[in-house]
Amino acid sequence: MISGLLRRPAAASVLSLIGVLAFYVLIGGVDLGTLFSAASWVNYAARIGIVALPVGLLMISGEIDISIGAMIPAGAMTTAIISGHYELPIIFGILGALGIGVIVGTINGVLAVRTNVPTLIITLATLVGMQGVILAGSKLLTGSASVPLTTPDWAKGVFGQLMFNGSHQVLIVWWVIFAVIFWFILHQSRFGNWIFAIGGDKVSARNAGIPVDRMTILMFIGTATAASFVGMCHAMQFNSAQVSGGMNDIFNIIVSVVVGGVLLTGGFGSIPGVFVGTLTFAIVNKGIDFTAIDRNWSNLIIGVMLLVAVAMNESFRKLALSAVSGKAGSSTQNAPRGATTGQSAQ
Amino acid sequence: MTTQTQTRGSALLLGKLARRPETGSLIGFVVVFAFFAALGGPVFMGAPGWSSWLNIAAEVGIIALPVGLLMISGEFDISVGSVVPASSMITAMLAGHYDLPALVAICAGLGTGLLIGLVNGLLVTRTTIPSLIVTIGVMFVVMGLTLGFAVLIKGSTSVSYVPDPTTKFLLGQFINNMFNVAILWWLGFAVVFFYVLHISPLGNWIFALGGDPESARNAGIPTAKVTIGLFMASGFCAAFVGVAQVMTYQQAQVAGGQAFIFNSIMCVVIGGVLLTGGAGSILGILLGTLTFAVVNQGVFFAALDPNVGSIIAGALLLAAVLSNDTFRALALSAAAEKG
């Protein structure tokens, strides 16, 4: 039963979370009650978590998207320019932010399926290009790199409000909702099987009649739109949008997904894993303020955690694969099914 | 008859030229340079213009060379972004804070790069974890260690150091008060890497590794050793840039190496290296670096919004990868015709 649990993709992320908490309690002397009632790390987890979910899907299908780093500020700036600077109704700002996500996601996706260029490079190009477009566009249209935004109450309540006496952002609720939706897509609907199949072996997936290209484009639209959604909510939350580098977000989101047990080579991973991976990352990154450990060491902890988590994933996956091949003698395409096999073995 | 063969010959030559990996990057460079020369005018064409983009090109170019070799062999190195500040911090700390001789400090800085490269290489070859993830992990570890120890020992995120004249002359001098001596080092590194990739047997191994690692191993190539060596080279070059920065700016900063990560990859890709491994050339990487640097600095001379440079860089990158894709298809089809 223990090996069945270990074989699940989320196992390493749960162990990472336990390990980090144990480390913070034993070495950092953190008070768990204070940590769990604090909002800073949950807010941060929601920010990267909403993007980490579709990025996880994309990585399970064997692709990567780093343009998200530019799309968070892009969503914020679009909302602020449309509804703040030009004072159009907020609904246009919302549609604009989501629209720019759909556009950039479509560009990424179409380039990904039409060419042989690795998606890391395609999205690096859109990352750099979008950074320029946002900054130059904002200076051109508004004359400044920071745009104020006043949001009507209803929109602020839905997208950019503080809850529970003013420290937890409403974005957290969105994160949980998105997690449920993505859990359903990946683990309950047939789309999930398709995504695993694409990540396991793209050619076989296509031969099996899976609309690989359409799925890939849709997933790229998912990542870019999720990122611009986060940006939009932040603009409403903080009543302004700044053009700031999203470089850190890129690596932080990828690390969250990988700690969550998703294989970069595709075909393996789970939504609960990504969710726990994001929580773990946020606790390391923001929770360190509640410990006696100097915050300057947080990157060291993140790096070690990432390497340990990946190493654990590797060995657990080998367990899963050997279990599958022992039972059915099947190929790598069945790797994700190893998770389900483990589940039923409990 | 003769004219026919001649046209056929020249058509073949053109076809050959179009299939060379650096043709696209040469065209890109000429177009970009002409664009900024037209907008930037005499200032851009004069010594100040040349020095400004050559200085940028040298810094990122020294790192782009080994990163390019790694990409030809099918691997990534993200950790260069943390090796630059780490090595400059160690050099400045040893020479500036502990007053050790400059040579010792420089060796320690470069040694740090080699060590980090060794760790990367071992992790990549001993496990099945993709190098992208391994080097992201190592990057975070090195960033954390640099920041942590800098604050622990020095209590600040920057350390200053005034190098002696000889060291300054060798590593951080501005020739004519404009051209950084790093440009010469860059050319030196380019010659070494040209020899490695295009003349020595090691180069064939690297191409073979990127083409098909399994067959390369079966052909008796010590793939693990080559990979580890390449990671150590990129660590060393990143450390060299870090050391040279200390000597140039007389200060080491904890942050500030992150731009090198994507910039070096962009130079390499604009230079015609395929990310899928197995194709690329040193000449192409040099041209890609020059193109990137001209775009990066040209916007200031052209009185454009600096952010436009970012848009141009993104567009160039896309154009480069798309044309490389086409070139490669051409080259493969030609090879298939012959065989």
Residue B61 and residue B70: Cα distance in Å, rounded?
Answer: 14
Least confident of A75-89, B15-29, B32-46, B246-260: B15-29
Answer yes or no: are the C-beta atoms of A40 and A94 closer than 8 Å. Answer: no
Answer yes or no: are the C-beta atoms of B217 and B62 closer than 8 Å. Answer: no
Classify A242 as helix, strand or coil. Answer: strand
How confident is the model over B6-17, as a mean pLDDT?
Answer: 59
- Residue A136 scores a pLDDT above 90: no
Tell me which residue of A288, A215, A137, A7 sits closest to B147, measured CA to CA: A288
Give chain A positions within 8 Å (CB) of B80.
none
Is the Cβ pair A132, B139 closer than 8 Å?
Answer: no
Residue B214 and residue B144: Cα distance in Å, rounded?
Answer: 36
**Residue A263: CATH number of its domain:** 1.10.3470
Q: What is the band of A57 on the pLDDT scale with cuts at 50, 70, 90?
A: very high
Give chain A positions within 8 Å (CB) of B317.
121, 124-125, 128-129
Model's pTM, two decimal places?
0.87
Is the Cβ pair A296, B137 closer than 8 Å?
Answer: no
Q: From the list A136, A265, A304, which residue is nearest B307 (CB)? A: A136
Q: From the list A125, A294, A314, which residue is nearest B127 (CB)? A: A314
Q: 3-state SS of A300-346?
A: HHHHHHHHHHHHHHHHHHHHHHHHHHHHCCCCHHHCCHHHHHHHHHC
Classify A194 as helix, strand or coil. Answer: helix
Answer yes or no: are the C-beta atoms of A343 and A4 closer than 8 Å. Answer: yes
Classify B293 as helix, strand or coil. Answer: helix
Give chain A positions within 8 Å (CB) of B147.
296-297, 299
Least confident of A102-106, A210-214, B177-181: B177-181
Alpha carbons within 13 angstroms on the beta-carbon side of residue A3 total 12
Give chain A positions within 8 Å (CB) of B276.
116, 118
Question: Does residue B12 lie in a domain region?
Answer: no
**How confident is the model at residue B12, as a pLDDT?**
61
Tell me how close the Cα of B304 comes to any Cα of chain A, in angstroms: 10
Give chain A positions within 8 Å (CB) of B141.
299-300, 303-304, 307
Tell me which residue of A316, A300, A291 sits closest to A34, measured CA to CA: A291
Given its phi and psi angles, is residue B74 left (phi above 0), alpha (psi -120 to 50 degrees) or beta?
Answer: left
- Domain around A212: 2-345
Q: Which residue is closest to A122 within chain B, CA to CA?
A: B318
Q: Encode pLDDT of A290-335 as tens digits.
A: 888 888 888 898 899 888 888 887 777 777 667 666 554 433 333 3
Question: Does residue B199 lie in a domain region?
Answer: yes
Is the Cβ pair B321, A139 closer than 8 Å?
Answer: no
Place of tokens 């851009």: B44
**Residue B77: CATH number of its domain:** 1.10.3470
Place of tokens 């480069």: B320
**Number of domains into which chain A is organized:** 1
B161's tokens: 């150091």
- Domain around B260: 23-324
**How confident is the model at residue A162, as a pLDDT?**
78
Instruction: Give A116-144 as a DSSP string.
Output: -S-HHHHHHHHHHHHHHHHHHHHHHHHSS
Strand B251-253, strand B174-175: pairing: unpaired
Q: What is the band of A183 on the pLDDT scale with cuts at 50, 70, 90?
A: very high
DSSP-assigned letter for residue B93: I
Residue A240 and residue A93: Cα distance in Å, rounded?
Answer: 13
Question: Does residue B185 lie in a domain region?
Answer: yes
CA B324 distance to own-chain centroid:
19
Amino acid present at B179: F
